[in-house]
Amino acid sequence: MDYAIVTGATRGLGESVAKLFIEKGIGILNISRSDNDNLQKLAREKEVSYEFIPCDLSQSGQTEAVFREVGTKVFESEAEKIYVVQNAGVVTPINPSGEVENEAMETSVNVNLLSPMIATNELIKAAKDSESKMIMVNISSGAGSRPVYGWSTYCATKAGVNMLTETVSLELSNKHSRHQVIAFSPGVMDTDMQGEIRSSSKESFADVESFQRYKDEGMLRSPDTVAGALVDLITETDIESGKLYHVNDLL
């Protein structure tokens, strides 16, 4: 059985991605703060392996310990392919610089950027003596490629995710590794994160009215639609390692 490690599979895009992996017969390791009963039930119905591993990705020590354990587990399984979808993320703090709480900034950097860096490091280390092929996906954002008023932290972390992807891909290529890593920009989706964004004040987030309009005019894609594009991309096509894929180009 192949395996997929998905962070933040409790809800939103992560839940939809995990669900599609299960339907394809791929075992799931859900690394999140809380479990998902629906995924458990689906995995039992499909007779697919499912394991919830609690982790607060804002705590770097926890992240390191969990991914060291997970890396050992999946690469000793002799699976042909190991998929890794680093989906967990936070959009807060939403405020212009000078009005941001430093603690919230630290949490954002830890969850959005440092945890994928630690996870990548531990998994590549664990894969060293394995014949399995690892395909890593870092969930990015359009905010990683352009400045957005009130999102200095979010933009910076997602830009970091994009550069992490490119650099790790370069390193893997230079070592003639079979492993691959891509970034994936999912666009605007109808998720709880979007609700957080729409509840911001115009003073904190200059584009809030645009995001409110996306919801009012039905412009938000469902997480299931976006997850379908991503899972099909990495399971059914030859991907280009190091590339930032945009959902708009896949649908």
Hey, CA dihedral for 35, 140, 224, 43, is it positive or negative? negative
Rounded distance between C-alpha atoms, residue 157 and residue 51, angstroms: 28
Rounded distance between C-alpha atoms, residue 4 and residue 19, angstroms: 11
Q: Which amino acid, 31?
A: I
Cα-flanking dihedrals φ and ψ of residue 219, to 5°? Answer: -95, 0
In sequence order, what DSSP letters do the residues of 205-228 get, joined into one string? -TTHHHHHHHHHTT-PBPHHHHHH
Note the residue count of the chain: 251
CA distances from 93 to 63, 131, 180 (A): 21, 41, 31
83 carries an active-site annotation = no
| Eight-class DSSP state of 57 | T
CA distances from 243 to 4, 83, 145, 247 (A): 20, 16, 13, 13
Candidates 3, 83, 154, 245; catalytic one:
154
- 172 by DSSP, 3-state: which? helix
Catalytic residues: 154
